[in-house]
Every structure is written in C-alpha cells, then in structure tokens.
Amino acid sequence: MNISLVRYNISYYIKTLRFIAPLLVFIVFFFIHHQTTNTPIWSSYYISAVAIFILSNWIGTSFINSEDTTQQFITRLHVKNENIYHVSKIISILLLIMPFYILLVFYPILTSFFARNLTTIEVLVALIINFLFSLMGTSISIFFNTDLHNQKNNTLPLQALVILITVIPISMIFENNTFVRFATYFLPPVNFFAGRLHYLNDEIFMVDYRFMLFILYSLGYSLALIVIYILLIRKKK
C-alpha cells in the first residue's frame, strides 16, 4: 500500500474541515457516556462500539465525498491503479477512526471508570470489537459515495435508515416474523454480540467459538462489501 497516498488522503480530508461536525458530536457523546462511574464493563463497551459504528459511517461518507472531481482524476492518474486508489481511501478512513475507539477503550481503564481492572485479553477483545464495528461502519458508508448516485439525490434518509435498522435489534422486536428474522442476516452483525455483552456486565470475558465466529463473520461481511463497492465504482467510472 502506498503510505504517501494514505497520508495525502487524510491531509486532504482534514483541510476540508468536514471532520468538525462528527468530532463535536463525539466529544458530546464522550462526556455524557462517562458521567457515571462503576458502570457495567461490557454494556459500556457495547454502547461505545455502537457509537464507533455510527461515527465511522458518518466520517466514511464525508471522507469518500470530500475529494473534488478534478482532483480525483489527477490522483488516479498519479496512482495508475484503481484498486490501490480505492483501498487507500478505506484504509485512510479506518486510520481516522482509530484514535476515537482507542480513547473509548483506554480512558475508562486509565481513570478507574470500571469497578474492576480488565485483563490483557479483555482489553484486546474490546479493541477488536471496536475495530470490527468501525470496519463495518466504513464498509457501509462508502456505498453513499455520490459517484454511485445521481448528485441531486439525497441519500441521507436512506443512510439514516440503514444505520437505524442495523443498530436496533429488530429481530427481537419482530421475533415472530420469519421474513424479518431472515432479512437481519443480511445486515451487519452489529447486534450479534449485544445480548452477550449486556448479560456479562462485569464478568470476565471468555474468548470462545462465538467470539471467533463474530470476528470471522464481521470481517467476511465487511470485506465482501468492500469488494462489491470497488467493482461498482470502477464500472461506474
């Protein structure tokens, strides 16, 4: 991967100032979320992970639409490889999100926010969960690239709907509806771990086959979306 290209992407995005709105919302969420101490560990981390999913979706969309059309053309000519160009943008988004979830994972630990100390494995688990949530949010956000849509169409309502039905456990709400339950398998597995994390509260997290399944499913789902996106955007161009 061209590191200088990733550095250019991030620098260009920062200069557009599009990051300010999501940053301000994150700051508000951060202070509200950490108002109460001795909160259940895994419920707190799940809320943080969902926030990262929404934030990565927001930043991803603003990032993917930040580069001017003429500048895109110049950058593509310079890179000479369409796949590297698009993958570098996705990596840039993930790097932009990383400081947010690192802060959300380590701040409660360093400030004794929780009732007990976390094990090294638990800290690693929290980082993995947040990374996967940011990856899922990013892999969805890139589909709201205006290059894939008519510039006059406002995709914000659709994007908000996708986030809403992904975050809300609709399979529990419509547990007797077979079609709805089947349809949820095509959504990002954001709620896959919700019940377990809420049930654990302050118990020690045990890495088992369900956690490994969550990792594989989340990675596979996100990578599949990224491949589909690259195929679509290249065909569009």
Residues whose CB falls within 8 Å of the CB of residue 109, separated by 6 or more in sequence, listed in order: 117, 118, 123
* Alpha carbons within 13 A on the beta-carbon side of 208: 6
Q: Any idea where the domains of the chain sit in the sequence?
A: 3-30+39-236
Residue pair 129/49 in contact by the 8 Å Cβ criterion: yes
Overall pTM > 0.75: yes
Backbone angles phi, psi at 104, to 5 degrees: -65, -30
pLDDT tens digits, one per residue of 172-222: 555 566 666 666 667 787 877 766 776 777 788 888 888 898 899 999 999
Q: Which of 135, 145, 113, 129 is nearest to 35 (CA)?
A: 113
Tell me: the pLDDT tens digits for 41-74?
A: 888 998 999 999 999 999 999 999 888 777 877 8
Q: 84 — phi, psi (to 5°)?
A: -65, -40
How many angstroms separate the CA atoms of 100 and 96, rounded?
A: 8
| Per-residue pLDDT reduced to its tens digit, 225-235 | 999 999 998 87
Per residue in 98-139, pLDDT (tens digit) is 999 999 999 999 998 888 889 999 999 999 999 999 999 999
